[in-house]
Chain A
Amino acid sequence: MSHFHIKTPFGYRPVSEFSYGGEVRPPLAPDAPDEEAIDHLWLRANVNGVQRERWFHTSGTRRWYTIVRDTRTNLVLAQPGEEYQEGSA
């Protein structure tokens, strides 16, 4: 298991306390064409690089957190509530 920390109201907690919730995606518009809907439902970007993603603090605060992480290095580039600026690593 990769290891990094996510900032919660109770400090930085190890990722082993969290469950992965996937990449942050825009919602599907109800009138989206089939192709777009199918892509939304079944495909993920699976980024090799910087990604906004969700984590649920399963063994802890039981809240969701959104972070920006580089999937290549597992470095957290923006903790919950922080602004991520491109190139700031």
Chain B
Amino acid sequence: MSIEFEGREVAIQPGDSLAAALYRDGVRVFSRSFKYHRPRGLYCLSGDCPNCLVTVDGEVNVRACQCAAKDGQVVSRQNAWPSVDRDALNVIDKMHPLMPVGFYYKTMAKPKFAWPLAEGVIRRVAGLGFSDKSDAPVDIDRVNRHPDVLVIGAGVAGLSAAIAAAAGGKRVMVIDEQSTPGARVAAGPTKEAIDRLAATAASNPGIEVSSGTAAIGIYEGPMVLALAADYVAHIHPQAIVIAAGGMEVHRIFPNNDLPGIFMGRGAARLAGAHGVKPGERAVVWAEQPEAIEHARTLIAAGVVVEAVITAPGVDASGVGNRQIEGSIVEAKGRKKLAGVVVKTTGGATEEISCDILAIGSEIQQNMHLPRLIYDLPCILTGDSAHPGSSLSEAESNGREAGAAAAAGLPLYVNPPASKPRTCGTAGYVCLCEDVSVKEVEQAIDEGFESAELLKRYTTVTMGPCQGRLCADQLRAIAERKTPSEAARVSAPTTLRPPVRPIQIQQAAAGARHHIERHTPLHQRHLEMGATTLWAGPWKRIFSYGDMQAEYEAVRHRVGVIDVGTLGKFLLAGPDVVEFLERIYPMRVADLEPGRLRYGLMLEEGGVIIDDGTVCALEGGAFYCTVTTSGAERLESWMLDWREAWGLDVFVVNQTASLAAVNVAGPHARDLLQKLSDDPLDKETFPYLRHRRITVNGVSCLAIRLGFVGELAYELHFPAAAAVEMWDAILEAGKEWDIRPFGLDAQRLLRLEKGHIIISQDTDFETNPWKVSMEWAVKLDKPDFVGKAALVRAQRRTPRETLVPWQMEPGMATPPEGMTVTIGGNLAGRVTSSKMSYVLGHPVGLAWVVTEHAKEGGTITIGGAPATIAGHAFYDPEGVKLRA
């Protein structure tokens, strides 16, 4: 197994991270620093520093230490020219005086034309890799999870907490960013404890351990956003236990960024967990006892530990060739570490030659997640609560946290304030943005004193590590420089998600999880070559390829359209009449069974929100249809009013359970009569009536409506029978050359009749008066939704009125949305516009200022004259639809 690394093969072993595989192969410089192009090597091996960002299979800024090596991966380093090993841009490192902090604000600001030129160069020289801009969008799944207790971190404390919470009867989910619990922990007592606890957790059905899943933010709810390998999880627990562990403090001294310098845990991970020998001769800086374990791990891996530099009170006896009480004050070397300068407690300095330095400094909490808690039900445990806990402390502390989470105790635990650190006087504060102590001090001299200002000016804490290494050090420098204002400047900078790097496509996970609804006939339509369009959540049929042929079939012969997307509601109950009287502005109480009525639906402000039909059924129930896009919304709307009024009504949404087709055209009756024995003649079944008839052996509610202006029967029947019904209608219609028709044809058919489409021809302030539909409103009713507003709106003339218009034959059809002018002044806009085949000229609807909205008036649409019509263009008397 191997990967391709900058043109050569590098062997990998099972369980390797990219960093481990490359390091074993001899790679020492993993990146060039952001600004000065200084060589950088592995440092933390925990995904916390920016040093090992590489490009993997075209994906930029992948943390090599966190990325599992896979056979065939193509890996390269970033931010260097011509190569990371021999980076010519390293000359910038000699140019510090020319590049003070914020130099790009200062030096390129004038003359103005220089900045775009400079920007191009800076963008190429700085930055982290080049993203592949040819990417096709990648859809990543988003899942919702609802455990009782979420534990973040599968270390000793986290697993102990999970076991305790499960013992308390809770469903527990544990997430951890490593591939398995303890995967990156060197062999030793910690690893053994994790293995033991992980085995216990794995055998507990109440605990789900989700490895390879990184928490990247805690939000209100609480909701934890977590990244897994191929999906994004929204986790909604009742309580959260944060056991996100700790890390060593980033120590600052001259040349503290040389390759060969490791955090103590980093060196131990490389040697103990990956089996890669980090170097030949090591110095271990032990500020706390855990570092002695690191020294032992290195020795076990065959590294000669030249010296252990201990803080007072740390016992290193017997470990390493020498034990010196003191601290490291400087590192030596150019491209890699050659030695360290040690200052003993007595004050003497000594240089020790070595090729690796493991800094086992004070343990601080991984502060990001704890600092996102605010007042959410979270409890901190392990290093997240008590940085530097011993194993037994972590285990007992974890158990307490888990039990508390399970018991639902008041869990509002404030995170310990991160305390300011001591900080050296030279060296790199910020590895991400390449900012040295000197530069921070210079920025303070320029007046940027508080940590928040320093952060913005120097960009310290704003790089890939998001302040993990540098946030507290920044405050330490600020306090040292301006001690009198310590209280003010030491306020920690605000931390925000994401805690871990996130791809844009991960941030957009689920953004395209559209619900796409299909009628039972959808597949039939596609087989017939139909094109579709969105209508609310539905995919509807736009056309079957020849809109004019579809149109002609309806006008002259017969056509059929799938209207199964209509919102369909059955309403019943003791108060149903009262309910409908209040929901609709027209009268419903006098509607006899077998009859139907067109109804607008208004919101409280009198604005039209939908329209449809109300059919009075035998036995006191009603069947109501609403528009395709309105069904979902109007269901909740009706239910809301039902509760507000306290009426006893059942509202049954039959939108999905019923199919509907509209058979329309002069031969519609002839066609249906072939499929039905029920009487369909004009006398028995006239216009604006509905009857239950049997068509093709299926009981249908047949409704005689006139949306398209022809003799038409709208059939509503069980969705399961849809395909057979459709096929039977098309078969029976062959003798009249039947055509299925889509929305495009339907829109012209209805436009010739002057029918409006709610939300195409109306807007958010359209009331019935403005569209001349007074006939659909009965203000003498006691009350209905919108009445209060309409009564008042009636007192004034609306500013604009919707009118039908037509143009002379031969004129071009103006686009919908075109402005309407009168005498050169803006006077309205076109909402619908189409070429009428039957009339031979363009027709449409438009908003026109009311004083000019008179039948016969002339308006100008896009420079062309049009005449306002007074009524439907086609069959104004409605003879055809009553046939």
Interface residues in A50-89 by Cβ distance below 8 A to B read 54, 56, 58, 62-64, 73-74
A45 to B172, CA, bound (A): 41
In the complex, A16→B236 CA distance in Å? 11
Q: Which of B221, B238, B788 contacts A41 (CB 8 A)?
A: B788
Taking CB atoms and an 8 Å cut-off, the chain B residues in 769-823 that contact chain A are 782-783, 787-789, 792
Contact of B221 among A5, A27, A58 (CB under 8 A): A5
Distance in Å from the Cβ of B768 to the closest Cβ of chain A?
16
| Residue pair B636, A32 in contact (C-beta under 8 Å) | no
The answer to whether B639 and A63 have CB atoms under 8 Å apart is yes
B residues less than 8 Å from A30 (CB atoms): 782-783, 787-788
- Is B639 within 8 A of A37, CB to CB? no
Instruction: Knowing A30-B783, A41-B789 are in contact, say whether A73-B375 is a contact too (CB < 8 A).
Output: yes
Q: Indicate if B87 sits at the interface (CB-CB under 8 A).
A: no
Cβ–Cβ contact B221 & A14, under 8 A: yes
User: Chain A contact residues (Cβ within 8 angstroms of B): what range?
Assistant: 20 to 34
Q: Is A64 a contact partner of B220 (Cβ separation < 8 A)?
A: no
A2 to B236, CA, bound (A): 12
A16, B639: Cβ atoms closer than 8 Å = no
B852 at the binding interface (Cβ < 8 Å): no
| Candidate in B222, B223, B643, B792 with the most chain A CB atoms within 10 angstroms | B223
Q: Is the CB of B782 within 8 A of A56?
A: no
Assess the B223–A21 pair: CB atoms within 8 A.
no
Closest B residue to A19 using CB positions = B636
Q: Which of B635-666 contact A (CB under 8 A)?
A: 635-636, 639-640, 643-644, 653
Kindly state whether residue B144 has any CB partner on chain A within 8 Å: yes
* Neighbouring B residues of A21 by C-beta, 8 Å: 636, 640
A27 touches B219 (CB 8 A): no
Bound complex: CA A41 to CA B767 (Å): 14
| Pairwise interchain contact A42-B605, C-beta atoms closer than 8 A | yes
Query: Do the beta carbons of B144 and A27 come within 8 Å of each other?
Result: no
The CB with the most chain A CB atoms within 10 A, among B219, B222, B788, is that of B788
A3 touches B636 (CB 8 A): no
A21 to B638 alpha-carbon distance, docked (Å): 12
Cβ-based interface call for B400 (8 A)? no
Q: In the complex, A62→B788 CA distance in Å?
A: 29
Contact with A along B169-202 (1 / 0, CB 8 A): 0000000000000000000000000000000000
CA distance A16 to B235 in the complex (A): 12
Chain A stretch 6-60: residues in CB contact (< 8 A) with chain B: 12, 14-16, 19, 21, 27-28, 30, 32, 34, 37-38, 40-42, 54, 56, 58
Chain B window 94-134, contacts with chain A (Cβ cutoff 8 Å), 1 for yes, 0 for no: 00000000000000000000000000000000000000000
Nearest-CB residue, chain A, relative to B791: A37
Within the complex, the shortest CB–CB distance from B345 to chain A, in Å, comes to: 51
- B792, A37: Cβ atoms under 8 Å? yes
Residues of B contacting A34 in the complex (Cβ-Cβ under 8 angstroms): 792
CA distance A42 to B238 in the complex (A): 38
Nearest CB on A from B70, distance (A): 35
Task: Please tell me if B632 contacts chain A, counting CB pairs below 8 Å.
Answer: yes
Q: B605 contacts A3, CB within 8 Å?
A: no
Report which of B223, B234, B639, B789 forms a contact with A64, defined as CB distance below 8 A: B639
**B604 contacts A by Cβ under 8 Å:** yes
Q: How far is the CA of A21 from the CA of B633 in the complex (A)?
A: 11
* Complex-state Cα separation, A37 to B636, whole angstroms: 24
Decide if B604 touches A41 in the complex (CB within 8 Å).
Answer: yes
By a CB distance below 8 angstroms, the chain B residues around A2 are 220-221
CB proximity to A under 8 Å, residues B559-605: 604-605
Report the minimum CB–CB distance from A15 to chain B (whole Å): 8
**A14–B144 CB distance below 8 A:** yes
Chain B 238-279 residues near chain A, CB threshold 8 A: 238
Q: Please state if A32 and B788 are interface contacts (CB–CB under 8 Å).
A: yes
10 contacts between A and B (CB under 8 A): A3-B220, A3-B221, A4-B220, A5-B221, A14-B146, A15-B221, A19-B636, A30-B782, A34-B792, A40-B604
Which residue numbers of A lie inside 8 Å of B, CB to CB? 2-5, 12, 14-16, 19, 21, 27-28, 30, 32, 34, 37-38, 40-42, 54, 56, 58, 62-64, 73-74
The 9 lowest CB-CB distance pairs between A and B, nearest first, are A3-B221, A3-B223, A56-B636, A3-B220, A14-B236, A37-B788, A2-B220, A74-B220, A41-B605
